[in-house]
Amino acid sequence: MSLRLRHLWLALAIWGAVHPMVHFLGWFQREGWSLPGLVVAWFANPAVAGLTWDLLISALVLVLWVLAEVAVRRNWDALWAIPATCFIGVSCGLPLYLWLRSRPV
């Protein structure tokens, strides 16, 4: 795998961590630091609920994929993609996993 593509995975992981977080922090500043309030906002209307379910299902699939591949490849560093996915989001977890998976062996 080319070094350029590997750098792209890392850049996308960083972007996927920072860009959504800017929106979350803005929401928290306006609405207060309420996780229950955030969950209510995730299901505020059918369009947002659809996107929420899409991301939740994608996160579950990514976590299962990481676990399955780690069991076979023994690439323990790839497990970092799981907390990145659960605490930041798929937009960070997926490119981070691809970056960790594409390192030279």
Domain boundaries, given as residue ranges, for the chain:
3-101
d(CA 21, CA 55): 15
pLDDT, one tens digit per residue, over 45-56 is 999 999 999 999
Q: Which helix (H) or strand (E) holds 97?
A: helix 90-101
Residue 20: pLDDT band with limits 50, 70, 90: very high
**Averaged pLDDT for residues 67-71:** 96
Residue 105: pLDDT band with limits 50, 70, 90: low
